[in-house]
Amino acid sequence: MPLAAFLDKIPNLGTQVYVHASAQLIGDVSIGSDSSIWCNAVLRGDVNRIVIGQGSNIQDLTMVHVSHKSLDSPEGSPLLIGDYVTVGHSAILHGCKIGNECLIGLGAIVLDNVVIPDHVMIGAGSLVPPGKILESGMLYVGRPVKLVRALTPAEITHLRYSAEHYIRLKNNYLNGLSAS
């Protein structure tokens, strides 16, 4: 697997985790059980920690990084992702916190010290500026993001479905089966 130590830190994987051979996990990275890291994704936990929860997926070409600890920021900005989160292709996540059952759209950018609570959808191509704190159960889109509306019950259900679809997909890869 494409895991690399940095100083005294080495990536830690839960059970039934799929990491594509082209992905890179470096340093203080923890991946929860049933999660998946896809083609050419980079998770670089060199100056702070990255924690991905259970059943989450980080899709192709996504870049995940952190900000270092300093006198001005004793904790720095780790990157923390909850359970059953879908991160779309080519997203950039930097030193942010994402709750459970969220969807981060294709090409979205989420910057330092952003807090995204449970059940939030970020539209494709959106930019969440540093320090922004979002509301649970909402759809945000734009550059910078703006609150559009509350998610419907069906959309909230779909957030979990999306992550579960990727669990089934990664299981097919782990079992050497064709994707379905």
Q: What is the pLDDT of residue 70?
A: 93
Higher pLDDT, 104 or 2: 104
H or E element in which residue 171 lies: helix 153-174
Residue among 106, 104, 107, 92 at smallest CA distance from 134 = 104
pLDDT tens-digit series, residues 17-52: 999 999 999 999 999 999 999 999 999 999 999 999
Widest CA span in the chain: 50
Q: Is 3-174 a CATH 3.90.1150.110 domain?
A: no
Question: What type of residue is 85?
Answer: V
Tabulate helix, strand, coil % of the chain (nearest 5). Answer: 10, 35, 50
pLDDT tens-digit series, residues 109-168: 999 999 999 999 999 999 999 999 999 999 999 999 999 999 999 999 999 999 999 999
Q: What is the pLDDT of residue 178?
A: 56
Given pLDDT bands bounded at 50, 70 and 90, which one contains residue 177?
A: confident
Q: Enumerate the domain spans of the chain.
A: 3-174
Given pLDDT bands bounded at 50, 70 and 90, which one contains residue 2?
A: confident
Q: What is the pLDDT of residue 102?
A: 98
Given pLDDT bands bounded at 50, 70 and 90, which one contains residue 1?
A: low
The token duo for 173 is 């890869």
Residue among 93, 133, 99, 101 at smallest CA distance from 114 = 133
pLDDT tens-digit series, residues 49-100: 999 999 999 999 999 999 999 999 999 999 999 999 999 999 999 999 999 9
